[in-house]
């Protein structure tokens, strides 16, 4: 028999559950208390014995079969109430109602063992003894999800109240209610989950425990930290299909892109594992005899990570993997509209950390909105704040961080351009533009917004693009044959409509698309607009939607200037066979972007290079190359190993 689960502080952990017929995310025992990520609870009472733990979601509106994941991580129970095999990395998303495996018992005998229906809850939200369903442990049989579909009216409910790395916090009437948001599937606008956001009090407790976890993590040698990160990558590799489907469900990108995004996290973990044996500073020659001059690099401490909806896994992975091997702990606030992905990612990481006897608070998650983000930006305990989002919000974040002389890493908007010269290979140009403009429904920061075509090839390329656009397969993003899914929210659809209308007012002609599609969900037609001036106001405004503005140009000098005239400077690309032009493009008078490509699209960056841009894109660099330096502090160290004391610059002070 295993001992009763205890937290880091030694206190016993109680069962955590959520209302029946609703989505349940529950954590209890060692894993839920120490992960430092999400502690989801509802109706928790003092005196409850430990119950089932891990991530369970049930009674969602039933999706198409290809989307249904079979498993996501649930830490194995440290409590052995009955002999049973502990599943590897455990079960997770199950569609349908939970049912007891013990056919002789129809309901749990104890109120604390029941998962009540909404009608069985009291006025104060407490569980009643009637109308519940068996949670499994009360009768010695674990809960499973049956194959029966949930009723259409069922709604998911995720109560995320805390990111706890230590003790449980009992539910108290004195605790003020926390904001609850609803996440929706972009493909049909059906509710997925109701997520209760963390309060500022929860934030304070979480960051305190993350800082304590740093004292453990910083003492581990970098190569050993790299080994942990490698194991995190392996854990994601095992769950790549399942997590990719969840990304497709909640974010709305097509399945192949959702899986590819998880693969990007895996790749970064592999890269970081090797990097953990290579980071460090040089030994420099000293001008003084008997002296050594070296550079020392040390971790910053706590890295705050705020990510956007469009890449709910990969962007966190870039930051997390590199921050970990450089000796930092992480506090993550994902986008509220992709909270389930954030929870799943955090639980996978927590399992790896705890399997290696490390506190889960090394990687903490807080679900929240602008109040949490503002607090992170102003918090001096956050040694580096990595922010991915719009330029407008990024500017506010930068000012708040700079006000406290903090350190920020910004990856903001991009108004990216592709330039095709008269000698361009059109068999490369057309598919490149198609992928860069339509991929992720135009919701990448590297999406091409502006296409500059030499006047000699303009009409031919536009005709080819119209033909290619007409062949795009549109539909449910979890269908592996689909190339184009929905926008993320209804607000994005409204933004698309306004941008198209504004482009028409400013002289543009819609040659393809431009309308909202008659399809459930947030679908709009991928759009091509010609006839605008290169400096039209709508062109210089980044619209996070699949709208491509096409222009004619005559010579190299003017089109290079047009590429650089926008405020953002993220990604750019030219298509040409002229070697001289290529190196002028890469040189000081060429593109002023952080990503400068030749004969490939603006999107689809590899993890080995530093990712980021200039100007209003923020200037930050993530992922590869020497981006690791942004997560560390540098010290120049002079060591005198002689018996004399010579001064630099030959100064005599006697």
* Integer Cα distance of 218 and 327 in angstroms: 5
Among candidate residues 127, 411, 525, 542, the one labeled active-site is 411
Are 364 and 206 spatial neighbours (Cβ–Cβ below 8 Å)? yes
Find residue 634's DSSP bridge partners.
Answer: 297
Are 193 and 23 spatial neighbours (Cβ–Cβ below 8 Å)? yes
* Integer Cα distance of 491 and 475 in angstroms: 20
- Phi, psi values for residue 207, rounded to 5°: -70, -30
Q: At what angle do helices 240-251 and 339-355 cross, to 10 degrees?
A: 160
Are 406 and 397 spatial neighbours (Cβ–Cβ below 8 Å)? no
Find residue 633's DSSP bridge partners.
Answer: 298
Q: Count of CB atoms within 10 A of residue 105's CB?
A: 15
Handedness of CA 38, 351, 260, 576 (dihedral sign): positive
For the question of residue 455 being annotated catalytic, the response is no
Structure token digits, residue 119:
């009608």
Q: Are strands 622-623 and 610-611 parallel, antiparallel or unpaired?
A: antiparallel
Q: Residue 188 in 3-state DSSP?
A: coil
481 by Cβ neighbours in 10 Å (0-12 / 13-18 / 19+) ranks as exposed
Q: Which helix (H) or strand (E) segment is 332 a member of?
A: strand 329-333
* Integer Cα distance of 70 and 65 in angstroms: 11
* Integer Cα distance of 344 and 38 in angstroms: 10
For the residues of 575-622, what is the DSSP string, one character each?
E---HHHHHHHHSTTS--SSEEEESS-SS---TTSEE--EETT-S--E
Q: Residue 365 in 3-state DSSP?
A: strand
Q: Which of 58, 88, 60 is nearest to 74 (CA)?
A: 88
Give the side-chain half-sphere CA count within 13 A for 142. 19
Are 109 and 130 spatial neighbours (Cβ–Cβ below 8 Å)? no
Are 492 and 544 spatial neighbours (Cβ–Cβ below 8 Å)? yes
Are 73 and 348 spatial neighbours (Cβ–Cβ below 8 Å)? yes
Q: Which helix (H) or strand (E) segment is 426 a member of?
A: helix 426-438
Q: How far is CA 445 from CA 230, 388, 540, 545, in A?
A: 28, 10, 15, 10
Q: Residue 629 in 3-state DSSP?
A: helix
Contacts of 328 (CB under 8 A, 6+ apart): 214, 217, 299, 300, 301, 302, 303, 383, 384, 631
State the catalytic residues: 411
């Amino acid at each position: 028999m295993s001992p009763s689960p205890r937290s880091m502080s030694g206190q016993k952990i109680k069962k955590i559950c959520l209302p029946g017929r609703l989505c349940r995310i529950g954590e209890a025992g060692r894993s839920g208390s120490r992960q430092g990520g999400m502690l989801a609870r509802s109706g928790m009472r003092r005196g409850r014995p430990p119950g089932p733990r891990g991530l369970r979601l049930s009674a969602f509106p039933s999706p198409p079969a290809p989307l249904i994941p079979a498993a996501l991580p649930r830490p194995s129970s440290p409590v052995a109430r009955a002999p049973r095999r502990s599943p590897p990395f455990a079960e997770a998303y199950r569609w349908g109602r939970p049912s007891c495996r013990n056919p002789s018992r129809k309901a749990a005998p104890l109120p604390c063992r029941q998962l009540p229906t909404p009608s069985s809850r009291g006025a104060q939200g407490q569980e009643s003894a009637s109308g519940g369903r068996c949670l499994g442990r009360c009768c010695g049989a674990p809960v499973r999800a049956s194959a029966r579909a949930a009723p259409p009216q069922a709604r998911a409910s995720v109560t995320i109240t805390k990111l706890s790395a230590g003790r449980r916090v009992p539910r108290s009437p004195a605790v003020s209610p926390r904001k609850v948001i609803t996440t929706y599937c972009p493909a049909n606008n059906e509710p997925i989950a109701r997520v209760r956001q963390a309060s500022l009090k929860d934030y304070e407790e979480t960051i305190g425990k993350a800082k304590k976890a740093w004292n453990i993590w910083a003492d581990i040698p970098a190569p050993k930290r790299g080994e942990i990160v490698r194991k995190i990558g392996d854990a994601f590799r095992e769950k790549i299909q399942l997590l990719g489907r969840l990304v497709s469900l909640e974010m709305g990108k097509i399945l192949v892109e959702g899986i590819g995004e998880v693969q990007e996290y895996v790749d970064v973990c592999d890269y970081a594992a090797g990097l953990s044996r290579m980071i460090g500073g040089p030994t420099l020659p000293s001008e003084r005899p008997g002296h050594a001059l070296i550079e020392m690099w040390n971790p910053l401490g706590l890295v705050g990570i705020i990510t956007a909806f469009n890449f709910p896994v990969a962007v966190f992975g870039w930051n997390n993997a590199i921050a970990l091997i450089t000796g930092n702990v992480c506090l993550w606030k994902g986008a509220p509209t992709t909270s389930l992905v954030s929870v799943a990612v955090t639980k996978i990481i927590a399992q790896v950390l705890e399997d290696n006897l490390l506190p889960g608070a090394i990687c903490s998650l807080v679900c929240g909105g602008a109040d949490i983000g503002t607090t992170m930006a102003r918090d001096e305990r956050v040694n580096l704040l990595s922010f991915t989002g719009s330029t407008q919000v990024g500017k506010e974040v930068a000012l708040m961080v700079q006000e406290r002389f903090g350190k920020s890493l910004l990856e903001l908007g991009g108004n990216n351009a592709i330039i095709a010269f008269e000698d361009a290979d059109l068999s490369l140009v057309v598919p490149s533009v198609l992928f860069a403009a339509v991929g992720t429904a135009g919701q990448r920061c590297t999406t091409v917004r502006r296409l500059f075509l030499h006047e000699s090839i303009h009409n031919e390329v536009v005709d080819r693009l119209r033909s290619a656009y007409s062949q795009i397969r549109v539909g449910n993003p979890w269908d592996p044959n689909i190339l184009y899914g929905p926008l993320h929210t209804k607000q994005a659809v409204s933004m698309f409509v306004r941008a198209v209308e504004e482009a028409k007012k400013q002289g543009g002609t819609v040659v393809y698309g431009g309308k909202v599609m008659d399809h459930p969900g947030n679908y709009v037609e991928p759009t091509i607009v010609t006839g605008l001036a290169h400096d039209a106001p709508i062109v210089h405004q980044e619209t996070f939607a699949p709208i491509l503005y096409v222009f004619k140009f005559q010579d190299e000098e003017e089109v290079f200037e047009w590429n650089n005239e926008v405020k953002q400077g993220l990604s750019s690309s030219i298509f040409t066979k002229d070697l001289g032009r290529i190196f002028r493009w890469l040189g000081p008078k060429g593109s002023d972007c952080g990503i400068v490509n030749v004969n490939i699209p603006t999107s689809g960056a590899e993890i080995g290079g530093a990712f980021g841009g200039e100007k209003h894109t923020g200037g930050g660099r993530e992922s590869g190359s020497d981006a690791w330096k942004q997560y560390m502090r540098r010290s120049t160290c002079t060591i005198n190993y002689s018996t004399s004391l010579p001064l630099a610059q030959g100064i005599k002070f006697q």
